[in-house]
Amino acid sequence: MTGRELLRLHIDAVWSLTLPTLDETLDEFVLTHGFPAWPLYLGVFAHEEVALWRPDVTPEQRTLYLENAHKADAVWDHAPGMRREVVFHAPHIRQEQLAQAQRQARMLNAEDADLVNAFEADSASYFLQARTAPCVGVVVNGQLVSIAHSPRQTSAACELGINTLPEARRQGYAIAATTLWTAIVQQKGLIPIYSAFAWNTASLQLAKAVGYTPGFEGIYGPMQEPAPHVVYLGLGSNLGDRDASLRAALVSLAAPDGESEGGVHPIVQVERVSSVYDTAPMLMTEQPRFHNIACMGRTWLGPVSLLYALKRIEVTLGRTSDTPRYGPRVIDIDILLYDDLSLRSPELTIPHEQLAERAFALAPLAEIAPDVIHPTLGRTTQSLAASVTGQDVRRVGKL
């Protein structure tokens, strides 16, 4: 497959833009269908460059955008506003390579819904649907640790999506899942599309380990860096060293999220943390007392993506899938408020649906954000906290 053909398939699969065959005698093309977020997509090959232009770009802008594309670094820089990615040619999967992958990875189906939901909360309906097939997983000791699927596909190609639990990385599981996914896609007569941001060393190394080879670099933009969202989280723990678990959770929030534009932002950039509150358990009262805190921060993730990131942190810190809903837990992280958003879905309700009834959440929240208004009740957190009485909540100091 030529580099230009790979470019055409990539743009179609990832950006949903159908391109004609790219004439080898031309190095610039104006899009005639679709209106992408980027004005310029520059495909950089070993011996040539191919520019794809949105039709509204003026000649003066073309000159500026090309200059900025050539300045673009691997990591997002607001000045040029360009993203860099590497797009790979798929390997031929050898029989022995496939056999090795099949010893660890297998196809997932509807019977694996509980495994998938334990891997990422309420995600089976997404991963196990026909349009994301093939879906391949690695299960170790009854736990799904890595999953490969097809987030986007066309009649000719499938794009790879690969997720691995943080504690299961660098153990070969993603290699096995990606290898088997690639082989299945090729058996269906489709082209596997693997791309990764140029800053994402782990994804680049995974591609190399499976046998993918770089086809071209794509530089696209200028893209506006999205504004972060203000989020308030409630954290609690009542097993083990409670304060150590809360500190570990705050540290984990600072890890790169890997999903937002640029991929170099923390899950939550924490800016304020409340005191620690020692609180009595509710509903299931026969369990140890909790230590609770609230924090305010900024996130570049959407609300559902943030929810999944928080669930992954909980699992990493030791929370198990069999934890009762109101039972004891090493760590619990809830989204209390997200901007002034009001959201109700099967996966997530914002503001937290029980916030106004929980002194253990309201007391630390009102400490760091007394004047923030509950978007559906129209009352400040301080007012809500004052109205909840009869619950045993004691401020005990700072972390």
243 neighbors 396 (Cβ within 8 angstroms): no
Give the separation between CA 107 and CA 161, rounded to whole angstroms. 15
Residues facing residue 85 across a β-bridge: 197, 218
Q: Residues 121-151, buried b or exposed e (16+ Cβ, 10 A)? A: bbbbeebbeeebbbbbbbbeeeebbbbbbbe
Of the candidates 12, 112, 257, 332, the residue annotated as catalytic is 332
**Residue among 28, 24, 58, 30 nearest 43 (CA):** 28
338: which residues sit within 8 A by CB, 6+ positions away? 229, 230, 231, 232, 303, 306, 350
Query: What is residue 345's predicted lDDT score, i.e. its pLDDT?
Result: 79
**Residue among 236, 234, 191 nearest 212 (CA):** 191
DSSP strand pairing (49-53 vs 28-30): parallel
Query: What is residue 261's predicted lDDT score, i.e. its pLDDT?
Result: 46
105 neighbors 116 (Cβ within 8 angstroms): no
12 has catalytic annotation: no
Of the candidates 319, 325, 340, 371, the residue annotated as catalytic is 319
Q: Out of 3.30.70.560, 3.60.15.10, 3.40.50.720, 3.30.70.980, select the CATH number for domain 229-393.
A: 3.30.70.560
131 has catalytic annotation: no
Give the separation between CA 308 and CA 310, rounded to whole angstroms. 5
DSSP strand pairing (269-273 vs 290-299): antiparallel
For the four alpha carbons of 206, 208, 212 and 213, in that order, the dihedral sign comes to positive
Query: What is residue 78's predicted lDDT score, i.e. its pLDDT?
Result: 67
Query: What is residue 128's predicted lDDT score, i.e. its pLDDT?
Result: 95
Of the candidates 169, 334, 339, 379, the residue annotated as catalytic is 334
Of the candidates 329, 339, 340, 371, the residue annotated as catalytic is 329
Global pTM value: 0.64
319 has catalytic annotation: yes
Task: Please report, for the chain, the start and end positions of each structural domain, with discontinuous segments joined by +.
Answer: 1-225, 229-393
Domain 1-225: state its class: alpha beta
Question: Which residue's entry shows tokens 């208004």?
Answer: 373
How far CA 20 is from CA of 43, 57, 154, 190, 217, in Å, comes to 16, 20, 15, 18, 20
Structure tokens at 243: 């304060």
Q: Is 259 exposed, middle or buried (0-12, 13-18, 19+ CB in 10 A)?
A: middle
Give the separation between CA 219 and CA 234, rounded to whole angstroms. 39
Query: What is residue 201's predicted lDDT score, i.e. its pLDDT?
Result: 87
334 has catalytic annotation: yes
**Residue among 154, 191, 248, 272 nearest 5 (CA):** 191
310 three-state secondary structure: helix
Query: What is residue 327's predicted lDDT score, i.e. its pLDDT?
Result: 80
In angstroms, what is the C-alpha Rg of the chain?
24
175 neighbors 210 (Cβ within 8 angstroms): yes
Q: From first to last of its 399 residues, what are the pLDDT tens digits of the chain?
A: 899 999 999 999 998 898 888 888 899 999 988 889 899 999 999 999 999 999 999 999 999 999 999 988 887 666 678 999 999 999 999 999 999 999 999 999 999 999 999 888 788 999 999 999 999 999 999 999 999 999 999 999 999 999 998 788 889 999 999 999 999 999 999 999 999 999 888 899 999 999 999 999 999 999 866 778 999 999 999 999 999 999 999 999 998 765 544 456 899 999 999 999 999 998 787 889 999 999 999 998 888 889 989 998 998 898 877 677 778 899 999 999 999 988 887 778 999 989 999 999 999 999 999 999 999 899 999 999 999 988 999 999 999
How far CA 267 is from CA of 128, 227, 250, 254, 399, in Å, comes to 26, 14, 10, 6, 21
Structure tokens at 123: 């995600």
Q: What is the chain's length?
A: 399
